[in-house]
Amino acid sequence: MTLCAATSVNVAATMRALEASLRQIRFGACRLLTDAEVSPAHPEMEIVAIAPLRSSAAYSDFLLTRLPDYVATTHCLVVQWDGHLIDAGRWQAEFLAYDYIGASWPQFDDGHDVGNGGFSLRSRRLMELCRDPAFVVVHPEDVAIGRTNRAWLEAQGMRFAPRDLADAFAAERSGEPHRTFGFHGVWNMPCAIGLEAFWQIYCQLDERGTLKRDFRSLLRDVANGPRGMSRAARMIADRYLK
């Protein structure tokens, strides 16, 4: 399995997410795909130069059309700065029986509800199919895989994990991070890694757009923690005064 992340923003936080995963599992490879000039702190992390990803849509296109170029193993575990492995003891061999698994989407009830791509396990054969001319490339990339093209992918023999297994794999909008193998979502970080660790990461961020949707809940968590009022005041200033 290859541990992989691709980004042009929040690179330091992404490296920390990779390191958090590397501390618990030895992977076949670990690659940070980025245009930033950085040196990894972990000896097993390889920095691979790519063209800048200037938008979230560019990120989606990269994962759907270029990611297989950097993965030689049968599976790839995709992480982002706000989603990574939490508890290796919750790994299940059954995860590898599927071509795609990510945290379930509670907003969908049509059976196409697996799932989130921010922390996801993908087979190489699925990633190659995403480059097939018949695959409809849309943004975001996890919706392209899990919903727009799911029926077509399943017709090609791809297997999506059932919802209960996806919920054991990762928490995002449903589930609890401390009961899953991994997590995704900045709103989950205070619970998943602790308030102090979240604050240290927050201070390193150079792009905070993903905080907007859940700003109030994050603000509440920070305000109830150490130096809560001053930290909450900084968050408000970062959002509204810069």
Give the model confidence (pLDDT) of 48-83 as tens digits.
Answer: 999 999 999 999 999 999 999 999 999 999 999 999
pLDDT in tens, 92-101: 999 999 999 9
- The yes-or-no verdict on residue 242 having pLDDT over 90 is no
Return the pLDDT at 77: 98
Q: Which amino acid is at 84?
A: H
Alpha helices in the chain (DSSP H): 11-22, 56-65, 124-129, 141-143, 150-155, 163-169, 189-193, 195-204, 215-223, 228-240
Distance CA 186, CA 80 (A): 10
Give me the chain's average pLDDT, please. 97
Rg (CA), the chain: 17
Q: What angle do CA 56, 33, 87 make, to 5 degrees?
A: 90
| Residue 150 resides in a domain | yes
Closest CA to 191 of 101, 83, 113, 118: 83
Whether residue 34 lies inside any domain: the answer is: yes
Domain membership flag for residue 138: yes
What CATH number does residue 26 fall under? 3.90.550.10
Please provide residue 222's backbone torsions phi and psi, each rounded to the nearest 5 degrees: -65, -45
What would the mean pLDDT of 136-154 be, rounded to a whole number? 98
- Percentage of residues in the chain having pLDDT higher than 90: 98
Q: Is residue 210 part of a domain?
A: no
Strands 29-34 and 2-6: parallel
Q: Which amino acid is at 241?
A: L
Does 127 fall in a domain?
A: yes
Reading the block at residue 237, the tokens are 């200033």
Torsion of CA 37, 70, 32, 123, to 10 degrees: 170
What is the chain's length? Answer: 242
Q: Name residue 31's beta-bridge partners.
A: 4, 46
Q: How many domains does the chain have?
A: 1
Domain assignment of residue 212, yes or no:
no
What does the pLDDT look like over 186-239, one tens digit per residue? 999 999 999 999 999 999 999 999 999 999 999 999 999 999 999 999 999 999
Distances (CA, A) of 238 to 196, 200, 206, 241: 18, 15, 11, 6
Flag whether 240 is in a domain.
no
Spatial separation of the C-alpha atoms in residues 43 and 147, rounded to whole Å:
37
Q: Does residue 68 lie within any of the structural domains?
A: yes
Q: Which domain holds residue 79?
A: 2-194
